Amino acid sequence: MASATQSLRRTLEGLPGVDAVGVEARAAGLGTRSIKTTSKQWAIDLAISMVDLTTLEGADTPGKVRALSSKALRPDPTDSTCPPVAAVCVYPDMVSTVREVVGDRLHVAAVATAFPSGRAALDVKLADTQDAVEAGADEVDMVIDRGAFLRGDYTRVHDEIVAVKEACGDAHLKVILETGELQTYDNVRRASWLAMDAGADFIKTSTGKIQPAATLPVTLVMLEAVRDYRIATGRQVGVKPAGGIRTSKDAIKYLVTINETCGDDWLSPDWFRFGASSLLNDLLLQRQKMITGHYSGPDYVTLD
Amino acid sequence: MSRVEVRKTHKLYIGGAFPRSESGRTYEAVDAKGRFLANMAKASRKDGRDAVLAARKAFGGWSTRTPYNRGQILYRIAEVMEGRRDQLTTQLREAEGLSPKRTEAVVDAAVDRVVWYAGWADKYAQVLGNANPVSGPFFNLSSPEPTGVVAIVAPQGGGAGPRAADGQGPLLGLVSTVLPAITTGNTVVVVASEAHPIPAVTLAEIMATSDLPSGVVNLLTGSSAEIAPWLATHSDVNGLDLTGVDDPELARTLESDGAENLKRVRRPSDEDWLREPTLSRLEQWVETKTVWHPIGV
C-alpha cells in the first residue's frame, strides 16, 4: 500500500513543470486567430453541438428544466438546420425530468459527489452517484476533494475517483478539477494526470461556482495533458471547460486551441464539451447574424 | 524652451468609455475652409454593434429611473455644458466658420435646449398620457413608455443640406435629436455629423461627466452611409431617427430596412433648430401603455 502511494506521488511530482508565462503567451497567441465566413459558420455549429447546456441553481424547478431540455433538442426553433447540443447538465434530482423530455436523443449529465464543494463522506458521494445513474444519467460530473489534493493526499483523491467510476457503471465519468482552487498550472497538470490515471473519461475545469472558472491557459494545460496521456497509454480522454465562456468568440478560441494542441481527434462532442448556459444564446445570435446578414438581438433567443 | 503641443486623439463614446474604432481607422476633420483640424476615429459596423449592446445594457436602469431623477441628470448636462461653453464655441466656430456672435447664439441655444428637455422629463407623461373615460367600473390609464434603443443619424451640418451655412447641425442639431430620446428613458446610439464631429465628441465628454449612466448615449463618428444600414437592420434597435440623412435614396433604403423588425422611424427633416421645439420628438420615442384597473377593489 505504502509503495503504491509512493509510486503515485513519484509519477505526479515527476511530471515536468508548466512554464506559466509560456502557456499564457501561447493561449493569448492562439486567441488572436481570425476565423471568418464559412469556417466561422462551421465552428459555430460545432460549438453548439459541443455544449453541455447547464442549469445548476438552487432555484431550478421542473418547469425550468423541461424548458431547458426542449431548448437543448432544438436550440433555434426558427431554424431546423441548427444542430442540437450535446447534453443537458443538471443536479441528480432533475435527471428524470430531463429524460422525460429528451428521451434517448441527448446525453443527460448529472453533477454528483456533493457538488460543488465535494466535502462529504465517500459513501454519501457514492450514493449520490448511484442515484444519478439510476435516474437515467449517462454522464456523471464528479468533483475531486481539493482539500486532500492540496495537502498532498493524492491516494485519497485517486481512490475516490476509482470508487465513483465503479459506481457509475456504464455512465461516462467527468472529473471536475476545480482549477480555480488548485493555485498553480503544475497542480492542474498533476490533477489531470491523476484523474486520467484513476479512470476519468473526461476531465473538466470547474464547477462554475468558483472564480476564476475555465480560462484558456488552464484548458491548454489540460489539453496537453490528455494529448500526452494518449501518447503514453493509448487511452483518449476528453476535456470540458466550464464556467465563464460566454461568447462565440471565446468558444472559437477554444476550438482553435484544441486543433493546435491535440489535433482534430478531439474536435468532436465525444471528446470536447463546453459547460455553459449563456454561451448557447450568443452562439445562436451569431448564427442568425451569419445566415440573415444582419445583427440579431436578445429578443430572438429564449431567456433562461 | 517652447512647449510641445499636446494633441488630442478624438475617440468614440461607447458604454461610458472612449475607445478607438475597432477597425483602427481614422479620418480627417477639417474646418470651414478645408484645413486640417484633427484626426477622428472612423467607426465601423462592429463599433455600431458594440454601441447597440451598450445601449441595450443601459436601457433597464435608465428607463426605470424616476422621471424626476432623469430630469436632474439632464439638467446637470446643461450645467457642465455651460462650464465648457468656451471650448464648444471655439470648436463650433472652427468647424463652421461662423461669426463669434452667431456661434455663441447657437451654443446658447444648445444649452437652453438641454434645459428645456430636462424640464419636460417629469412632465411629458402628464401631457402625452391620459386617464381615459370608459363605460365600466375601471380606471383606464394610458401612459407613455420608452421605446427602447434608438439609433439616430444626427444632423450633418457642414457642406451638406440646405441649412449647411447656419452652423446649427454639429451641436444644436445633435442635442435636439438626442435629448428628446433620452428624456423619456430611451438609450441611444448616435452617428454624429461626419464633416464636423469635434463638438459632438466634446458633448460626449460632457455627458460622461454629468452622472449620465454609461451606455445611455453612445456616440460614433464616421460615415453615416456606412454605419446607418447596420443600425437600420439591427434587430435589437427599436427606433430609427433619420433626421440627418441627406441622401433621399439612402433614407428610403434605411426606412424599409427598419421595417423588418417594425422599428419606429422618423424621416429626414430639415429643421430650423433655433426655433422653439415642440413635443413631437418626445412623442416619437414613446409607446403608449394602457392599463385597466378595477374601481373599488
The enclosing domain of A163 has a CATH number of 3.20.20.70
Per annotation, catalytic residue among A240, A250, A253, A282:
A240
Using the beta-carbon criterion (under 8 Å), do B234 and A294 form an inter-chain contact?
Answer: yes
Average pLDDT, rounded, for chain B: 93
Residues of A at the B interface (Cβ-Cβ below 8 Å)?
293-300
Segment B183-199 mean pLDDT:
95
Q: At what angle are helices A185-197 and A2-13 packed, to 10 degrees? A: 130
Residue A297 Cα, gap to closest chain B Cα (Å): 5
Q: Which of B194, B206, B230, B208 is nearest to B88 (CA)?
A: B206
Segment B68-73 mean pLDDT:
98
Residue B254 within a domain: yes
Segment A30-48 mean pLDDT:
95
Segment A36-60 mean pLDDT:
96
| Number of domains making up chain B | 1
Using the beta-carbon criterion (under 8 Å), do A296 and B236 form an inter-chain contact?
Answer: yes
* DSSP output for A116-155: TTT-S-HHHHHHHHHHHHHTT-SEEEEE--HHHHHTT-HH
Residue B279 Cα, gap to closest chain A Cα (Å): 30
Residues of A in contact with B233 (CB under 8 A): 293-295
Residue A236 within a domain: yes
Using the beta-carbon criterion (under 8 Å), do A298 and B56 form an inter-chain contact?
Answer: yes
Residue B125 within a domain: yes
Residue A298 within a domain: no
Question: Are the CB atoms for B39 and B26 separated by under 8 Å?
Answer: yes
Q: Looking at the predicted structure, is the pLDDT value of residue B160 above 70?
A: no
Per annotation, catalytic residue among A128, A138, A141, A197:
A141
Give tens-digit pLDDT for A89-106.
999 999 999 999 999 999
Residues of B in contact with A299 (CB under 8 A): 235-236
| Number of domains making up chain A | 1
Average pLDDT, rounded, for chain A: 95
Give tens-digit pLDDT for B255-293.
999 999 999 999 998 888 989 999 999 999 999 999 999
Segment B235-253 mean pLDDT:
95
The enclosing domain of B61 has a CATH number of 3.40.605.10
**Which residue range is the domain that position A261 belongs to?**
2-291
Contacts of residue B116, defined as CB under 8 A and 6 or more positions apart, other chains included, come to: B277
Give the pLDDT confidence score for residue A125 in this predicted structure: 96
Contacts of residue A90, defined as CB under 8 A and 6 or more positions apart, other chains included, come to: A54, A55, A56, A60, A65, A97, A98, A108, A109, A110, A111
- Angle made by CA atoms A20, A24, A27, in degrees to the nearest 5: 140
Residues of A in contact with B260 (CB under 8 A): 294
Chain B residue at shortest CA distance from A292 = B233
Contacts of residue B150, defined as CB under 8 A and 6 or more positions apart, other chains included, come to: B181, B186, B187, B188, B189, B237, B238, B239, B240, B241, B285
Residue B32 within a domain: no
Residue A302 within a domain: no
pLDDT band at B1 (very low <50, low <70, confident <90, very high): confident
Q: Looking at the predicted structure, is the pLDDT value of residue A290 above 80?
A: yes
Contacts of residue A163, defined as CB under 8 A and 6 or more positions apart, other chains included, come to: A122, A126
Give tens-digit pLDDT for A140-191.
999 999 999 999 999 999 999 999 999 999 999 999 999 999 999 999 999 9
Using the beta-carbon criterion (under 8 Å), do A295 and B230 form an inter-chain contact?
Answer: yes
Residues of A in contact with B234 (CB under 8 A): 294-295, 297
- Listed by number, the residues of chain B in 8-47 with a beta carbon closer than 8 Å to a beta carbon of chain A are none
**B278, HSE (Cβ side, Cα atoms, 13 Å):** 5
Give the pLDDT confidence score for residue A279 in this predicted structure: 96
Residue B280 within a domain: yes
Question: Are the CB atoms for A185 and A26 separated by under 8 Å?
Answer: no
Residues of B in contact with A298 (CB under 8 A): 56, 236
Q: Does any CB of chain A come closer than 8 Å to the CB of residue B56?
A: yes
Q: Looking at the predicted structure, is the pLDDT value of residue B230 above 80?
A: yes
Give tens-digit pLDDT for B88-125.
999 999 888 888 999 999 999 999 999 999 999 999 99
What whole-number distance in Å separates Cα of residue A77 and Cα of residue A94?
Answer: 24
Query: Which of B59, B150, B235 to mutate to test binding with chain A, by most A CBs within 10 Å of its CB?
Result: B235
Chain B residue at shortest CA distance from A296 = B235
What whole-number distance in Å separates Cα of residue B121 and Cα of residue A118?
Answer: 54
Percent of chain A with pLDDT over 90: 97
Question: Are the CB atoms for B60 and B213 separated by under 8 Å?
Answer: no
Residue A220 Cα, gap to closest chain B Cα (Å): 28
Q: For residue A90, which amino acid is it?
A: V
**Which residue range is the domain that position B174 belongs to?**
41-294
Give the pLDDT confidence score for residue A238 in this predicted structure: 97
Segment B162-190 mean pLDDT:
87
Q: Has A71 been annotated as catalytic?
A: no
Q: Has A141 been annotated as catalytic?
A: yes
Using the beta-carbon criterion (under 8 Å), do A295 and B56 form an inter-chain contact?
Answer: no
Q: Does any CB of chain A come closer than 8 Å to the CB of residue B253?
A: no
Residues of A in contact with B235 (CB under 8 A): 294-297, 299-300
* DSSP output for chain B: -PPPP-------BBTTB-PPPTT--EEEEE-TTS-EEEEEE---HHHHHHHHHHHHHHHHHHHTS-HHHHHHHHHHHHHHHHHTHHHHHHHHHHHH---HHHHHHHHHHHHHHHHHHHHHTTTHHHHH-EEE--SSSEEEEEEEEE-SEEEEE----TTSSTTGGG--IIIIIHHHHHHHHHHTT-EEEEE--SSS-HHHHHHHHHHHTTTPPTTSEEEE-S-HHHHHHHHHH-TT--EEE-TT---HHHHHHHHHHHGGGT-EEE------TTSPP-THHHHHTEEEEEEEEETT-
Q: Looking at the predicted structure, is the pLDDT value of residue B70 above 60?
A: yes
Residue B246 within a domain: yes
Residue A192 within a domain: yes
| A98's grid cell | 430531463
pLDDT band at A109 (very low <50, low <70, confident <90, very high): very high
Q: Has A209 been annotated as catalytic?
A: no
Give the pLDDT confidence score for residue B33 in this predicted structure: 86
- Listed by number, the residues of chain B in 128-157 with a beta carbon closer than 8 Å to a beta carbon of chain A are none
Give the pLDDT confidence score for residue B163 in this predicted structure: 53
| Cα A81 to Cα A55, A103, B154, distances in angstroms | 25, 20, 40
Task: Provide ipTM, 2 decimals.
Answer: 0.86
Segment B239-261 mean pLDDT:
95
Give the pLDDT confidence score for residue B278 in this predicted structure: 95
Cell 496521456 locates to A229
Percent of chain B with pLDDT over 70: 97
pLDDT band at A304 (very low <50, low <70, confident <90, very high): confident
Residue A296 within a domain: no
Say whether A36 sits in a helix, a strand or coil.
coil
Give the pLDDT confidence score for residue B167 in this predicted structure: 73
Question: Are the CB atoms for A33 and A282 separated by under 8 Å?
Answer: no
Give the pLDDT confidence score for residue A268 in this predicted structure: 96
Q: Looking at the predicted structure, is the pLDDT value of residue A206 above 70?
A: yes
Segment A53-67 mean pLDDT:
96
| B269's grid cell | 427633416
Q: Which of A94, A141, A142 is nearest to A118 (CA)?
A: A142
Give the pLDDT confidence score for residue A271 in this predicted structure: 97
Percent of chain A with pLDDT over 70: 100
What whole-number distance in Å separates Cα of residue B24 and Cα of residue B46?
Answer: 11
